[in-house]
Chains A and B, each alone.
Chain A
Amino acid sequence: MNDWTDVWTDTEVDPPALDLDSFQQQANRLQHGVVQRNRIEIAAGVFVVVGFSMGGVLAPTPGAALGPGLCALGGALVTAFIYLRGTLGPSNADPSADTAAYLNAHRDELRHQIKLMRWVPLWYLGPLVPGVIATVIYDFGLTATGAGYLGVVAVFFLGVTWANHLAANKLQTEHNALSALGFGDEI
């Protein structure tokens, strides 16, 4: 009868020659990529806020300033939310934790992202709605054209909501697959 531990470990392996500079470059690239993505997201938010603020300041009447002002405020709220509870970033799961804890940390991160995506209408689109409505009503009044513009915006917002819903479903599948690996379960 084989002693399977001997069979398994009975292999001669020469230590590989590893290029540590290349490893360091890869690690730096990963970190740099995350920082860049976060910067772009925040910069886009700041751009929106500044743009609408300028529109509000340069508006000829207080009524004309209301819509852009509300959009700037909504944009600021969204940007602050992204900054404080951002969806992007390196995984916080400690790779040297035990496997059950490591996978739990991944599941927690996924749950956080899923929650954010499911609530996109509230925290991402919601703050922009008052500004959009105020702008359209000021420009077109309660007319068919105004309603048409609002309809287009509504369809766009629904599309964003649907895309996030699909992305959340994908993450939910990933979450379920992690759970199915069987770590953390007592037998």
Chain B
Amino acid sequence: MSTLTLDMDIAKAREAGSPSVWRGVFQRIVAQYSGSLRRTCRGYEREAESQEELLQEVWLALWTALPRFEGRSSLRTWVYRVAHNTAVKHIHRQVRTPQGAEIDVETLGQQLQNVEARLDRHRARQMLADLIRKLPAADRQLMLLYLEGLTGAEIAEITGFSPSNVTTRLSRIRTALGRKEKS
């Protein structure tokens, strides 16, 4: 299913204004983004139950906001904006109660290097998620968007950081993940 046809369906839904058309569009968004949004929630919440709760919040936010989607950004950045804003608001409610110690991106990188050889893929993913959740909110969002494969420009559009700020932060993230800088 291409993003282009989905964008066209949204344009049609806006013209028709019919709830049933919006439902169809939303179901397609769910099919396309359920994996990445579930992973996003994993980056914000540790327990499976809390992840599910957050995911439901995200779906509700997307469903409520969908009729106001005007196509000024791509659907992809729009979906991630709504999802991350919902998640950041969600964790902000927890920030008011003391949480565990935060780490920076460099520490995350060191910890990944120390353990990666000993872990299978599933445990490595768990370890990565555990470390991501310890990052400060802004770095956590950047890390999650980077891991989902969004470009620097898209990440800047989603976070509101300047492109140069994103470039600097992504450089740290790539180094932490042991990846070579893109020339």
CB distance from B51 to the nearest CB of A (A): 12
Determine the chain B residues whose CB is within 8 A of the CB of A184 once the complex forms: 160
Task: Please determine whether A18 and B95 come into contact, CB atoms closer than 8 angstroms.
Answer: no
Determine the chain B residues whose CB is within 8 A of the CB of A12 once the complex forms: 35
CB distance from B175 to the nearest CB of A (A): 12
CB distance from A106 to the nearest CB of B (A): 8
Docked CA distance A12–B122 (Å): 12
Determine the chain B residues whose CB is within 8 A of the CB of A174 once the complex forms: 92, 96
Assuming the A-B contacts A2-B116, A18-B30, A182-B138, are A99 and B165 also in contact, with contact meaning beta carbons closer than 8 angstroms in the complex? no
Assuming the A-B contacts A2-B116, A4-B128, A13-B38, are A96 and B64 also in contact, with contact meaning beta carbons closer than 8 angstroms in the complex? no
Task: Please determine whether A96 and B63 come into contact, CB atoms closer than 8 angstroms.
Answer: no
Determine the chain B residues whose CB is within 8 A of the CB of A1 once the complex forms: 116, 178
B153 within 8 A of A: no
Task: Please determine whether B85 and A5 come into contact, CB atoms closer than 8 angstroms.
Answer: no
Task: Please determine whether B121 and A181 come into contact, CB atoms closer than 8 angstroms.
Answer: no
Task: Please determine whether B81 and A23 come into contact, CB atoms closer than 8 angstroms.
Answer: no
Given contacts A13-B34, A95-B85, 5 further A-B contacts (CB under 8 A): A11-B125, A23-B59, A23-B64, A100-B160, A181-B95
Residue numbers of B with Cβ under 8 A of A are 23, 26-27, 30-31, 34-36, 38-39, 55, 59-61, 63-65, 68-69, 73, 78, 81-82, 84-86, 88-89, 92, 95-96, 112, 116, 121, 124-125, 128, 136-139, 141, 146-149, 157-162, 165, 168-169, 177-179
CB distance from A16 to the nearest CB of B (A): 6
Q: Mark A30-50, 1 if CB is under 8 A from B, else 0.
A: 000000000000000000000
Determine the chain A residues whose CB is within 8 A of the CB of B148 once the complex forms: 8-9
CB distance from A167 to the nearest CB of B (A): 15
Determine the chain B residues whose CB is within 8 A of the CB of A178 once the complex forms: 92
Docked CA distance A183–B39 (Å): 22
Task: Please determine whether A177 and B160 come into contact, CB atoms closer than 8 angstroms.
Answer: no
Determine the chain A residues whose CB is within 8 A of the CB of B84 once the complex forms: 99
Please provide the chain A residues from 140 to 186 with a CB less than 8 Å away from any CB of chain B in the complex. Answer: 173-174, 177-178, 180-186
Determine the chain A residues whose CB is within 8 A of the CB of B139 once the complex forms: 182
Closest chain B residue, CB of each to CB of A183 = B138
Determine the chain A residues whose CB is within 8 A of the CB of B112 once the complex forms: 2, 4
Docked CA distance A96–B63 (Å): 12
A84 within 8 A of B: no
Task: Please determine whether A187 and B169 come into contact, CB atoms closer than 8 angstroms.
Answer: yes
Task: Please determine whether A186 and B162 come into contact, CB atoms closer than 8 angstroms.
Answer: yes
Q: Which of A5, A20, A185 contacts B26 (CB 8 A)?
A: A20
Docked CA distance A97–B158 (Å): 8
Task: Please determine whether A177 and B85 come into contact, CB atoms closer than 8 angstroms.
Answer: no
